[in-house]
Amino acid sequence: MPAELAIGIHDLSVATTQYVLTHATLAAHNGSDVAKYQRGIGQRSMSVPAADEDIVTMAAAAAAPIVARHGAERIRTVVFATESSVDQAKAAGIHVHSLLGLPSATRVVELKQACYSGTAALQFAIGLVHRDRTEQVLVIASDVSKYDLGSPGEATQGAAAVAMLISADPALVRIEDPSGMFTADIMDFWRPNYRNTALVDGRESISAYLQAVEGTWKDYTERGGHKLDELSAFCYHQPFTKMAYKAHRHLLNYCGYEVDEARINGAIANTTAYNEVIGNSYTASVYLALAALLDTAGDLSGKAIGFLSYGSGSVAEFFAGTVVPGYRAHLRADAHREAIDRREDIDYARYREIHTHAFPVDGGDYPVPRETTGPYRLAGLSGHKRIYEPR
């Protein structure tokens, strides 16, 4: 893409929850060896939302600093990607639009395809900016990952939101053509409408992910994408951080490279710092990997990085981006670290209480106790309506 047509990520901001459950606490409760979590799947802790937090409050907390820095005048579209939506009809982004006071001349829409839809949102945003280079699009990926207590998936729960401002002449990352795409109709992970916890075939989901890595890479290279060696780092979807290592090892094998662990570490290690303490944030996960890479690696100016976005069911996309020289002046590394470090450690009993809490479904009035110290909260339910407010 010629420099004058560069479109991509102009700003990126992360938010997570009030609480955190460590894998040491989970292991002490269920008798597992904590090394299975910390080394086996590469997870140390998971974000847990307070009763007055959800995908909307995290999304607004992630997006507010972007609006504060750039203003809302050029934002004409908000695309909200999630698979833990709070309503079957209304887009969660409309609550965010209202909390942030965005202009009424805005289109707001919600997208779903498991963990993949954050990338669909990014690509739709790029298309809109191509049509009108003065427009900026606010893309928000926000999710709460929840599995049954005691299930193998429990250790891979988490919650976070990533907000990204997509614009022409971006300050952080130029997103490039081509993309490699892959879709396969499989039931590796799903959540029927009547459940609030996901169902998963763990082993099947890992092989489906690896199959998608091959499929997207094949399409990507056939369409003239970078050679593997031209990419300095790889941001994979990280349901647990060891999955990124598995995926990259698989890709190297598929491409006929000798699999050398130092080479895999070099491509992945800088992308895992946030996901290993936040857990699976579904749509946000691959962009948390990007945030960690930009915030924690040495200077990446001018370097090309690969992205593999996977959503069970399944749809995947491989694409690349080039880091814009001068990007470091625009990062929010301190705020991201602060959002992670401010979480309150909870014990297993409190986690269990939060996990099993569900609102009654009779449409009555249910105020929610004030718990979060984040900037926005769910104040309660009234007449089947969710009520949000600044804290």
Residues involved in catalysis = 83, 115, 237
Tokens read off for 66: 């972007």
Tally: H helices and E strands in the chain: 12, 18
Task: Tell me the closest approach of the beta carbon of residue 168 to ligand HMG, in angstroms.
Answer: 30
Q: In sequence order, what are the beta bridge partners of 377?
A: 389
Residue 45 is a binding residue for ligand HMG (CB under 6 A): no
Report 316-375 residues binding ligand HMG (CB under 6 A): none
Q: How many CA atoms lie within 13 A of 234 on its CB side?
A: 31
Residue 209 is a binding residue for ligand HMG (CB under 6 A): yes
Of 323, 62, 316, whose CA–CA distance to 170 is shortest? 323
- 87 marked as binding residue: no
Report 138-177 residues binding ligand HMG (CB under 6 A): 152-153, 155-156
Residue 115 is a binding residue for ligand HMG (CB under 6 A): yes
Position among 27, 29, 187, 202 found at the interface with ligand HMG (CB under 6 A): 202
- Contact between 118 and 309 under an 8 Å Cβ cutoff? The reply is yes
Task: Decide whether 150 or 224 has the Cβ nearer to ligand HMG.
Answer: 150
Question: Any idea what the Cα angle at residue 25 is, between residues 22 and 31, rounded to 5°?
Answer: 130
Backbone angles phi, psi at 368, to 5 degrees: -105, 130
Task: Tell me the closest approach of the beta carbon of residue 324 to ligand HMG, in angstroms.
Answer: 29
Position among 6, 27, 29, 41 found at the interface with ligand HMG (CB under 6 A): 41
Task: Decide whether 272 or 312 has the Cβ nearer to ligand HMG.
Answer: 312
- Contact between 96 and 67 under an 8 Å Cβ cutoff? The reply is no
- 147 marked as binding residue: yes
- H helices within the chain, ranges in order? 23-30, 34-35, 55-70, 92-99, 117-131, 202-222, 241-254, 261-268, 275-278, 285-296, 333-341, 348-356
Tokens read off for 136: 């900026």
Residue 183 CB partners (closer than 8 Å, separation 6+): 314, 315, 316
- Contact between 290 and 274 under an 8 Å Cβ cutoff? The reply is no
Residue 51 is a binding residue for ligand HMG (CB under 6 A): no
Residue 205 is a binding residue for ligand HMG (CB under 6 A): yes
Report 235-254 residues binding ligand HMG (CB under 6 A): 237, 239-240, 243
DSSP output for 235-274 = EE--SSHHHHHHHHHHHHHHTT----HHHHHHHHGGG-TT
Residue 35 is a binding residue for ligand HMG (CB under 6 A): yes
Task: Tell me the closest approach of the beta carbon of residue 11 to ligand HMG, in angstroms.
Answer: 25
Q: Which among 29-37, 176-184, 220-228, 264-272 is the span making contact with ligand HMG, rule CB under 6 A?
A: 29-37
Residue 391 is a binding residue for ligand HMG (CB under 6 A): no
Position among 1, 5, 24, 39 found at the interface with ligand HMG (CB under 6 A): 39
Residue 40 is a binding residue for ligand HMG (CB under 6 A): yes
Of 243, 235, 256, 249, whose CA–CA distance to 320 is shortest? 235
Task: Tell me the closest approach of the beta carbon of residue 251 to ligand HMG, in angstroms.
Answer: 15
- Where do contacts with ligand HMG occur on this chain (CB under 6 A)? 33, 35-36, 39-41, 83, 114-115, 152-153, 155-156, 188-189, 200, 202, 205-206, 209, 237, 239-240, 243, 280, 282, 310-312
Q: Binding site residues for (3S)-3-hydroxy-3-methylglutaryl-CoA, as ranges?
A: 33, 147, 246, 280
Binding residue positions:
33, 147, 246, 280
